[in-house]
Amino acid sequence: MNLWRNAIAHSNFEQCQDQADKLDGIVRPRLSEVSACRNATESVAVQIEAAVGAWLARVVGAPPW
C-alpha cells in the first residue's frame, strides 16, 4: 500500500517496477483498488484514534478530544 501511495503521490509508477512482486504483480493500480486502499486506511486511522483516545482517557482521567 505504501508503494502505491508513493507512486500515486509522486506520479512515478516506474519506482515500483522492481518491487512488483510485493504488489501481486500490479504496478499501476486501478481507481477501484486505490479507493479500496484509501477506505481501508481511513478505517484503520479511525480505529487507532479511538484506541489512543480511550487509552489516554484512562491514563489522564479525561478524554483528550
Looking at residue 55, its pLDDT comes to 95
Looking at residue 27, its pLDDT comes to 66
Q: How far apart are CA 59 and CA 19, in angstroms?
A: 42
pLDDT digits (tens, 9 = 90+) for 15-61: 777 776 666 666 677 888 878 878 988 999 999 999 999 999 999 99
Buried b (16+ CB within 10 A) or exposed e, 8-40: eeeeeeeebeeeeeebeeebebeeeeeeebeee
List CB contacts of 65: < 8 A, sequence separation 6 or more.
53
